[in-house]
Amino acid sequence: MAGTDHTRAAQLADPATAPVIVLVRPQLAENVGMVARAMLNCGLTRLRLVAPREDWLADKAIAASSGADGLLRDAQPFETVEAAIADLNRVYATTARRRDMVKWVLTPRAAAANLRAFGAQGERSGVLFGPERTGLGNDDVALADAVIEVPLNPAYCSLNLAQAVLLLGYEWFQAASEAPPEQLVINASRPATRADLLGFFTHLERELDASGFLRNLDKRPGMIRNIRGLFERAALTEQEIRTLHGIVKELRHGRRGPADPGEEQA
CATH code, 181-266: 1.10.8
CA-to-CA distance for 126 and 121, rounded, in angstroms? Answer: 15
Average pLDDT over residues 51-72: 96
Q: What is the pLDDT of residue 221?
A: 94
The reported pTM is 0.73
Q: Considering only the top CATH level, what class is 20-174?
A: alpha beta
Span 104-156, pLDDT tens digits: 899 999 999 999 999 999 999 999 999 988 889 999 999 999 999 998 888 88
If one compares 37 and 8, the residue with the highest pLDDT of the two is 37
**What is the Cα–Cα distance from 50 to 47, expressed in whole angstroms?**
10
Among 39-48, 49-58, 97-106, 225-234, the minimum mean pLDDT is found in: 97-106
In this structure, what are the phi and psi dihedrals at residue 247, rounded to the nearest 5 degrees? -65, -50
Identify the band that residue 257 occupies on the pLDDT scale cut at 50, 70 and 90.
Answer: low
Q: Where are the domains of the chain?
A: 20-174, 181-266
